[in-house]
Amino acid sequence: MGVKRVAAVIMLALVAGAGVWARWTFLAPAVIYTPPVGSRSLYDLRVATLDGKPADLGRYRGRVTLVVNLASRCGYTPQYASLETLYRELAPRGFSVLGFPSNDFGGQEPGSAEEIQQFCTRTYNVTFPVFEKVVTKTGAGQSPVYALLGESGSLPQWNFSKFVVGRDGRVMAFFPSRTKPDARDLRKVIERALAAGS
């Protein structure tokens, strides 16, 4: 086999592998957990705000939350707008969006805390809580938030992955990046979670 033919075979293998990765990353299905999963509550954790101050997630106990890994330089970044719309609409009913910036995928959140805050405020007028930058991937340095969420069997494969967390702090559903915040399936799970505690 000639060098050109070997190179062509290697290239085809790489393209096929990239196709499998892309399908898994961008076309992965949502996962609905019935009943909710997890033996621990997200609301038992303490984290830090974007400006580094301690934050107790216990303040969200009794609320339904949508936990999202954020990035300011991603093709999905425009989802900030619909996340904010969802937050403003449903907050009076006991709902909150919890944003966790992450630079895990494509280096698409390289900014400092101040840069992220300015971007969120100036570009999308974000009022939902945004916490310090985290590592979502399994391994050293993984955020306790994502270690707990990962007990569901799902972890982000890209930016803007979404976890619906019930009033008790257990994971009710996971939605991949491509699911927009105003998607019918996501809204249905959120509405079900809100109704469960009313």
Residues catalogued as catalytic? 74
What is the spatial distance between Cα 109 and Cα 135, in angstroms, rounded to a whole number?
Answer: 11
β-sheet bridge partners, residue 46: 56
CA distances to 72, 83, 99, 195 from 117, in Å: 10, 16, 11, 33
Half-sphere exposure (Cβ direction) of 104: Cα atoms closer than 13 Å: 24
Distance CA 83, CA 97 (A): 7
CA distance 77 to 162: 13
Which amino acid would we find at residue 182? D
